[in-house]
Structure formats: structure tokens, C-alpha cells
Structure 1
């Protein structure tokens, strides 16, 4: 089942259950996906492109969450936490720290990276492998640890 189909089903369910916040998040994600398809000039996005849009939306909310919590805006923090939890339902299962470490080590060996100068090469090789399954900043920290 495609993400858009799943979103439509969940949107109907949220309407029936009168879950306003959930419905709002689902509509926002649908709009983002539709805007992306218009931007790319396609009728439908591939799963990979849908995942990219979903990841972007999740990242925006996580960034905003940090800003709002440091500013002491608890009302907005709660709203964002709800939005993040709804968005995470549609994300693929996240990789564990052990799985990520194994991928990082294997990629470093594949590339033959030895210092921080090779950071860009390693990151560009890892990111397609873990797209949507791990946070980029977490991967960045792991790569730095292994390149030291």
C-alpha cells in the first residue's frame, strides 16, 4: 500500500474518530506530498520520494521542537510532540545503534576512509543506505567517532 493510500485511509478514520490534531497532521503530510509531485511534474511519487518528503517534515518539526523548548513555549512543544508521533507512524522502522554502527564501519572500509577529510565521501555513501531509517545527525556522530 502506498503512503498516499495509507494517509487517505487514516484520514477517514481520524474524521470518524473526531481526532482533530491527527487529522490536521495527515492533511499537512498529504499536501506536502502533493506539492512535491507537482513540483517534480509527476502524477505519483515513488516510495523513495514520499519518504524524502516525510523525512523533511519530521526534521522540520524536530528542529522547531528544540527551538520552542529552549524558548519555554510548552504549548507549542506539546503540539509538535503530537505531530512528530503521528509522522513517525509512517516512517520505516528505525535502525538500532548496533545496526547503524555496523553500516558505518562497513562503509568506512568500503571507501577506505581514514581521516575526517573523508567525512563527505563516507556520509554520501551511507545516507542512501539508511534513508528514512536513521537520523542524519546520529549517523554523523557515529562516522566522526569511527574516523578518529
Structure 2
């Protein structure tokens, strides 16, 4: 896919620029995607490739949260890794945009705004907006809307 090619091209450029942080992040994502393609014996779709970037982004954010505050350089490096990973993902929707999407979905599909329907709505949003939404933010938006 074109995303994998872009990752490889940017990885080569990071090597030329001697940018070890970017090279490390890209190498990790490229190898995860390549391994999955070998296991599946097919090229992955763009959404499947985004999944690997999102997974690495989530792990990096968790790592940032666990880093002691006195490790300033490590925190800066981790924040840089996060920005590198985010640059390869589609623009993330804000909580307000997600709330509007949820309201439209409930209106269009005639879904009652009750907790019982949370799973149905979550599944629909995560499926239709894969790569553009964070499950945690969708859950927060849903919690504020449902009774």
C-alpha cells in the first residue's frame, strides 16, 4: 500500500538525516506491518496499516504516562515519537465532532439514548471512523449523551 511505501521512504530519509528517534519509530512500524503481510500472505488495507500505527501510538502514550517527571530528555523523546506517529494517521476527530456524529447516528438509526445501546453505537462509530477516532474519546462522548 502507499502508506507502507511512504513509511519506507521516510525511514530512508531519517537514516540520511541521522534522526535516530524517527528511524527507530518508523522501523518498528514497518516491521510490524511487513510481518503481518507475510503472515496474511497479502497486502494489508490502509485501515489495517493504520491499526499498527495506532497500536504503537497507544503504547508510546502509555510509556509517556509512566515516565518519571525528572526524566526530561526521555519525556521529550517520547513526545517526539508521538508526534511522528500522529503525522501518519488521518486527522483525529475532536470530542465535539464525535458527539455530533453520535447524535446524527442515533437520529438516523432511531437508536434510543440509553446505556443499553452504548455497545451498538460504539461498534458503529469505531467501524465507520476507523483511524479517525480514539475509542476512549468516543466512550466519553457517549457517556455524556446516554442516560
Q: How far apart are residue 73 of structure 1 and its match? A: 4.4
State how 1:121-132 maps to structure 2 within 5 Å: 121-132=120-131
Which residue number corresponds to residue 144 of structure 1?
143
Q: Secondary structure at the match of 2:67?
A: helix
2:74 matches 1:102 = no
Cα contact 2:106–2:112 (8 A) shared by 1: yes
Residue 58 of structure 1 contacts residue 84 of structure 1 at CA under 8 Å; is this kept in 2?
yes
Does the aligned pair in 2 maintain the 1:61–1:80 contact within 8 Å? yes
Mapped to 2, the partners of 1:78 and 1:32 lie a distance apart of 24
Q: Deviations over 1:76-120 (max 9, x none)?
A: 322221111110110011223432221111223325133112111
- Say if 1:62 and 1:84, in contact at 8 Å, map to a contact too: yes
Q: Which runs of 5+ in 2 are unaligned?
A: none
Aligned residue-pair number: 146
Q: TM-score if structure 1 supplies the norm length?
A: 0.88
TM-score, normalising length: structure 2: 0.88
